[in-house]
Amino acid sequence: MKLAMIAAFGAALVLSGTSLPAMAQTASPAGCVEDFDAATDYFPDKVEPRHSTFWSISYHNNYKVLTVPNSEFPNGPDLNYVLVQCGTPVPDLADDLEEALVVEIPVDRTMITHANGLAMLDEIGELDTIVGVSNAMINNAANDHWYGRVLDAANDPQNLGSSGIDYEMALGLEADILIMAGYGPGYTEVADASGRGLPAIMVSNRIEPTPLASSEWLKFLSAFYNVEDHANQHFDAIEARYQEVVEKVEGQLPPDYTAAYACIGEQRGCTFMYAHGPRSLNGQILETLGVSNPFAEGNDAGNGMTFDFESSLGRAANADFFILYYEASVNAETIATDSRYQSFPALVQGNYITGTDGNYPECGATNYVHVDRLIRDFAIGMLPELFPGEDGICFTRP
């Protein structure tokens, strides 16, 4: 994943002994340094991962090093991003940092194709740096209030392409970084973009081992904008609200209570049922709430797997509760028109929550960041008596 052009630029700066160009006369982390002092710590506010296992960071006075295991090619070397404070010299990039991507910070031009990353930028207040977005985000903005608000706050973002990334146009935007999702083996989007000379940043929150670890990637992104203190405050609040729900629900459900997270019908390619196991974010929340997942056994895929009618019936016919992915109106029609779903008493009796109508795109972007809201939705559905008068944000009772 070597970015030859950027590496050569960084090496040239090191050899010449010059600094990155200053853009403002200030020594604060928010701007550029006018009079560089090698002994000064230019990053008084710092982040560190407490839950995430997919990124690490080290601080070195005028630069930071972010390291991310390459989820697309797990057997390959880690990805390193060297973030250099504007107006200060690029460090000597040797050994593991020889092929690192050098980024001048704070970033002021961002491209993004990762919906969860978009929600993270919204959380840390950096939407105004966005100059390019995926076609899907632009389409969602036409019908979804949250996407509309987010893109209105961006910097007149350009469409990066209707089928994949238009590399020529993306390069022409001269952005500092391109935020992309790292989904694991079998995907090559980040590698492809890097190979074309784009400053791609891998955000692998979707394959983290816990929900809070997924949310914590907002701290990772904050390092590119020098807003670590802001990110720490927001994540700490998310974590506190998440733990509040866990403590409130603890011991309130029967020990043999079973709940399944599933997509039903042919929408979104679900065929009969597409259910999550213990490794998905939703499966992890079920486990955190102390319920048994009938689809857990043998279902180790990070995003679940398909089950036909017979196998679904064998596993979940007696499930106490379902969490149905996708919009409520579509799910209601599926249950009403396909008699096979009448074989599941929980569905017949309305013992389920379903994706809300009207904010489906928003929830797809924000659920992996605001895991506090997601776990609360699940808890309200299963134990409404503990949350009188409350309704879910992304999942509600039918």
Give all domains of the chain, ordered by start, each with its CATH number. Answer: 4-239 (3.40.50.1980), 250-396 (3.40.50.1980)
String of DSSP letters for 7-74:
HHHHHHHHHHTPBPPP-SS--STTS--SS--TT--S--S----SS-SS-EEEEETTEEEEEE--SSST
pLDDT at 303: 85
pTM comes to 0.90
The token pair at 16 is 């010449």
What DSSP state is assigned to residue 258? B
pLDDT at 19: 37
Q: Answer yes or no: are the C-beta atoms of 259 and 293 closer than 8 Å.
A: yes
Helix then strand then coil, % of the chain, to nearest 5: 40, 20, 45
Q: Establish how many alpha carbons lie within 13 A of residue 91's alpha carbon, considering only the half-sphere containing its beta carbon.
A: 24
Rounded Cα distance between 268 and 231, Å, is 33
* DSSP three-state, residue 195: helix
pLDDT at 11: 40
- Residue 294's φ and ψ, nearest 5 degrees, are -65, -15
Per-residue pLDDT of the chain (398 residues; tens, 9 = 90+): 334 444 444 443 333 333 333 333 334 455 799 999 999 999 999 999 999 999 999 999 999 999 999 999 999 999 999 999 999 999 999 998 999 999 999 999 999 999 999 999 999 999 999 999 999 999 999 999 999 999 999 999 999 998 889 999 999 999 999 999 999 999 999 999 999 999 999 999 999 989 999 999 999 999 999 999 999 999 999 999 999 999 999 999 999 999 999 999 987 789 999 999 999 999 999 999 999 999 999 998 888 999 999 999 999 999 999 999 999 999 999 999 999 999 999 999 999 999 999 999 999 999 999 999 999 999 999 999 999 999 999 999 98
pLDDT at 268: 76
Residues 6 or more apart in contact with residue 84 via CB below 8 angstroms: 20, 62, 63, 90, 91, 102, 103, 104, 105
Residues 6 or more apart in contact with residue 338 via CB below 8 angstroms: 265
Beta bridge partners of 352: 322
pLDDT at 70: 96
Rounded Cα distance between 389 and 398, Å, is 15
CA distance between the termini of the chain: 47
pLDDT at 29: 54
Q: In terms of DSSP H, where are the helices of 160-227?
A: 167-172, 189-195, 211-215, 217-222
Whether omega for the bond prior to residue 106 falls within 30 degrees of 0, making it cis, is: yes
Which residue type is seen at 21?
Answer: P
pLDDT at 266: 86
Burial level of 278, CB count in 10 A (0-12/13-18/19+)? middle
